[in-house]
């Protein structure tokens, strides 16, 4: 059953989409695949921003309790100037955080809107009156509000971490990018921060997954991607290479490997990846699907867009053979007369995907044969 509906969203007038453990958005360029993915990313990120605010509030409470365990009994007249100054600073910081906002639908909507504005630069490039209905949460941009059919404690769609990969070349560009706050689109800055740090944790089950994933990815690129401080290196058994000298395909598989080894991708995470086939040989495109399935089995949700008939056909066949077709959805966006409609594909409509992705190539071939 579809669980996402978009109205007046870019070229999409009114269409349903299906979001599952692995979600594929296919279609010709300009059909809106990237727009849909980015707004889903923003919807998942807004709750994480609320979580960050809650953690900041908790830290402020801890500071107050540690510095002044009996704050209600404090007599400011008995504090020296430094103590009084410190108390005022803590209280001022604490007052900046309004706990009521953290469970307020309007606050969630504002966070979502801010993230989407940062991603697109101008949210009105999508539309000035779009409506998004996803898992009983309705974001109505025309009325500047959020409506939910759920209780407040279940309002937010929680995830461990959300990672949006627009290009694997970010491994190469990282040290050259402007890191000044507000100068980089939200989803790119978020990935840069993830690449900056190690999400260390201890979990035997996850460690087994990491070991297995690293072995499989190493067998593809014959090496590994590792942090070298302000950049990355591609390490093989024989030699280390600066990341700038690694092929785009190695960067692509290597970035996925690195996100697992540094423990940014784990159970409960969501990975968004735009057109992973762009940098991959057809054989490696199928290997990438194998790695995506490995992530799904470890509890990571994978959402990606593609123009590749190799990746879609292989994932469809693999999911049937290994009995997880019910965990995979294929969404085909097709434009006609300036209006984009989505088709949620099944066996009866699979030929539509083949037609959309392969017919243009056939037309070009016939022109020169």
Q: What is the pLDDT, as a whole number, of residue 103?
A: 57
| Cβ-based neighbour number of residue 182 at 10 Å | 9
Question: Is 323 a domain residue?
Answer: no
pLDDT at 271 over 90: yes
25 vs 305: CA distance, rounded Å: 4
Residues 175, 252, single domain; the answer is: yes
CA 240 – CA 173 distance, rounded (Å): 19
State how far the Cα of 343 lies from the Cα of 319, in Å rounded to an integer. Answer: 19
pTM: 0.85
Q: Is residue 113 part of a domain?
A: no
> In 148-158, which positions are buried (b, 16+ CB within 10 angstroms) versus exposed (e)?
beeeeeebbbe
Q: Is 175 found in the same domain as 90?
A: no
Residue 106 lies in a domain: no
User: Of 217, 249, 266, which residue constitutes the final position of a domain?
Assistant: 266
Q: Of the residues 266, 300, 320, which one is the last residue of a structural domain? A: 266
**pLDDT > 90? residue 251:** yes
pLDDT 10s digits, 183-218: 789 899 989 888 887 655 555 556 888 889 999 999
* pLDDT value at 50 more than 90: no
Q: Are residues 91 and 173 in the same domain?
A: no
As a three-state string, the secondary structure of the chain is: CCCEEEEEECCEEEEEECCCCEEEEEECCCCCHHHHHHHHHHHHHHHHHHHHHHHHHHHHHHHHHHHCCCHHHCCHHHCCHHHHHHHHHHHHHHHHCCHHHHHCHHHHHHHHHHHHHHHHCCHHHCCCCCEEEECCEEEECCCCEEEECCCHHHCCCCCCCEEEECCCCHHHHHHHCCCCCCCCCHHHHHHHHHHHCCCCCCCHHHHHHHHHHHHHHHHHHCCEEEECCCCEEEECCCCEEEHHHCCHHHHHHHHHHHHHHCCCCCCCCEEEEECHHHHCCHHHHHHHHHHHHHHHHCCCEEEEEECCHHHHHHHHHHHHHCCCHHHEEEEEEEEECCEEEEEECCHHHHHHHHHHHHHHHHHHHHHHC
What's the total number of domains in the chain? 2
State residue 357's pLDDT score.
81
- 255 belongs to a structural domain: yes
Mean residue pLDDT of the chain comes to 84
Distance CA 212, CA 159 (A): 23
The pair of structure tokens assigned to 33 is: 């695949």
Backbone angles phi, psi at 6, to 5 degrees: -120, 135
For residue 153, tell me if it sits in a domain. no
Residue 54 has pLDDT above 90, yes or no: no
Last residue of a domain, one of 266, 298, 315: 266
Please answer whether residues 108 and 50 qualify as being in contact, where contact means their C-beta atoms are separated by less than 8 angstroms. Answer: yes
- Please state, in angstroms and rounded to a whole number, the distance separating the CA atoms of residues 202 and 137: 34
Tens of pLDDT, residue by residue over 221-249, are 999 998 887 789 999 988 889 899 999 99
Amino acid 146: pLDDT: 79
Q: What is the residue whose two structure tokens read 């390490």?
A: 235
Tell me: do 178 and 250 sit in the same domain.
Answer: yes
212, part of any domain: yes
Note the Cα 47 to chain centre separation in Å: 13
Does 239 fall in a domain?
yes
Locate 10 and state its tokens: 């870019």
Q: Sheet of 22-27: strands edge to edge?
A: 145-148, 137-140, 131-134, 4-9, 12-17, 339-344, 328-336, 22-27, 301-306, 270-274, 162-165
Residue 154 lies in a domain: no
- Residues spanned by the domain of 66: 59-100
| pLDDT one-digit tens code per residue, 71-85 | 555 666 666 777 777
Q: Which residue has the tokens 């695949």?
A: 33
């Amino acid at each position: 059953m579809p669980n996402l509906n978009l109205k007046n969203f870019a070229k999409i007038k009114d269409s349903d989409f299906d979001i599952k453990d692995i979600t594929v958005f296919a279609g010709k360029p300009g059909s809106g695949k990237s727009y849909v993915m980015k707004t889903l990313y923003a919807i998942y990120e807004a709750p994480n921003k609320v979580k960050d605010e809650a953690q900041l509030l908790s830290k402020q409470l801890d500071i107050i309790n540690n510095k002044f365990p009996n704050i209600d009994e404090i007599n400011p007249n008995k504090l020296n100037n430094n103590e009084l100054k410190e108390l005022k600073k803590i209280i001022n910081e604490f007052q900046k955080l309004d706990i009521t906002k953290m469970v307020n639908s309007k606050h969630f909507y504002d966070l979502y809107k801010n993230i989407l504005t940062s991603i697109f630069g101008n949210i009105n490039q999508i539309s000035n009156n779009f409506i998004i209905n996803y898992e009983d949460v309705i974001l109505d941009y025309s009325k500047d509000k959020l409506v939910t059919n759920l209780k407040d404690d279940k309002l937010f769609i929680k995830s461990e971490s959300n990672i949006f990969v627009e290009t694997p070349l970010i491994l190469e560009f990282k040290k050259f990018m402007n890191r000044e706050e507000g100068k980089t689109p939200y989803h790119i800055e978020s990935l840069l921060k993830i690449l900056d740090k190690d999400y260390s944790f201890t979990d035997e089950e996850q460690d087994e997954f990491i070991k297995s994933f690293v072995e499989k990815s190493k067998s593809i690129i014959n090496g590994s991607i590792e942090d070298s401080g302000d950049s990355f290196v591609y390490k093989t058994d024989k030699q280390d290479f600066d990341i700038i000298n690694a092929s785009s395909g190695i960067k692509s598989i290597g970035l996925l490997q690195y996100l697992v080894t540094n423990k940014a991708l784990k159970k409960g995470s969501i990975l968004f990846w735009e057109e992973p086939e762009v940098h991959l040989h057809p054989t490696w495109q199928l290997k990438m699907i194998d790695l995506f399935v490995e992530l799904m089995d470890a509890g990571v949700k994978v959402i990606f867009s593609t123009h590749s008939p190799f990746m879609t056909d292989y994932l469809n066949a693999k999911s049937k053979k290994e009995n997880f077709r019910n965990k995979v959805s294929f969404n085909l966006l097709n434009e006609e007369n300036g209006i984009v409609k989505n088709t949620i594909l099944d066996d009866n409509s699979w030929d539509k995907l083949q037609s959309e992705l392969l017919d243009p190539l056939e037309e070009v071939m016939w022109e020169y044969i």
